[in-house]
C-alpha cells in the first residue's frame, strides 16, 4: 500500500495505516526529520493513549498504556549492537502480544519476529509525506 498525506492530516494517515497492518510489530523507516515519531504519536493516540508520546532516543524504549494493553516504542539509533537489545529483553517485548513500534531497526533486524510490518516514510515537501506499507 502506498499513499501521500499532508502533515496537517496525520491523524487520518494513522487511521488508514492502522486499518492496513497485519502485525503488531512495525518498523518505521525514514530519514531524520521525516516524521516517524509524529506518525507513531498519532497511532498511539488512535489506540487509546492520552499520554504525550516522545522519542525514546535516550531511553531506547518508551511504554504507553492503551485500551487493550501497551505500546512499546523503540528507538535503536544509539545502541551499539544487537546484544544491547537482548539485554533490554527485546524478545519478551516482541512476544508480549502488545504493539511494538520500532525506529532505526537496522541493529536488531536479526532479532525481529517472522511476521512484522514495514512503514517507509519519504519526504515529498516540508508539508507532504509518502507512506509505503509492506506487510511481511
Residue-level pLDDT at 91: 95
Please tell me the distance from the alpha carbon of residue 104 to that of residue 74, in angstroms, as a whole number: 8
Please tell me the distance from the alpha carbon of residue 82 to that of residue 111, in angstroms, as a whole number: 8
Whether the CB-CB separation of 35 and 121 falls below 8 Å is answered with: yes
Q: Which residues contact 36 (CB under 8 A, 6 or more apart)?
A: 28, 29, 30, 103, 121
Residue-level pLDDT at 90: 96
Residue-level pLDDT at 136: 84
User: How many Cβ atoms are within 10 Å of 32's Cβ, its own excluded?
Assistant: 7
Please tell me the distance from the alpha carbon of residue 55 to that of residue 15, in angstroms, as a whole number: 20
Residue-level pLDDT at 67: 87
Residue-level pLDDT at 57: 82
Beta strand residue intervals within 17-116, DSSP E: 25-29, 61-66, 69-75, 99-103
Give the domain ranges of the chain. 2-135
Please tell me the distance from the alpha carbon of residue 92 to that of residue 115, in angstroms, as a whole number: 15
Please tell me the distance from the alpha carbon of residue 29 to that of residue 76, in angstroms, as a whole number: 12
Residue-level pLDDT at 41: 96
pLDDT tens, the chain, 136 aa long: 999 999 999 999 999 999 999 999 999 999 999 999 999 999 999 999 988 898 888 899 999 999 899 999 999 999 988 899 999 999 999 999 999 999 999 989 999 999 999 999 999 999 999 999 999 8
| Domain 2-135 in CATH 3.10.20.740 | no
Amino acid at each position: 500500500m502506498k499513499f501521500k498525506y499532508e502533515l496537517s492530516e496525520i491523524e487520518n494517515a494513522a487511521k488508514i495505516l492502522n486499518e492496513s497492518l497485519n502485525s503488531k510489530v512495525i518498523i518505521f523507516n525514514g530519514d531524520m526529520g521525516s516524521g516517524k515519531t509524529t506518525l507513531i504519536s498519532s497511532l498511539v493516540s488512535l489506540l487509546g493513549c492520552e499520554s504525550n508520546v516522545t522519542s525514546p532516543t535516550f531511553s531506547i524504549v518508551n511504554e504507553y498504556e492503551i485500551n487493550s494493553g501497551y505500546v512499546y516504542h523503540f528507538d535503536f539509533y544509539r545502541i551499539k549492537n544487537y546484544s544491547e537489545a537482548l539485554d533490554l529483553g527485546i524478545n519478551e517485548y516482541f512476544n508480549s502480544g502488545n504493539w511494538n513500534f520500532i525506529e532505526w531497526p537496522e541493529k536488531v533486524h536479526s532479532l525481529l519476529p517472522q511476521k512484522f510490518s514495514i512503514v517507509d516514510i519519504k519526504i515529498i515537501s516540508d508539508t507532504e509525506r509518502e507512506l509505503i506499507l509492506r506487510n511481511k
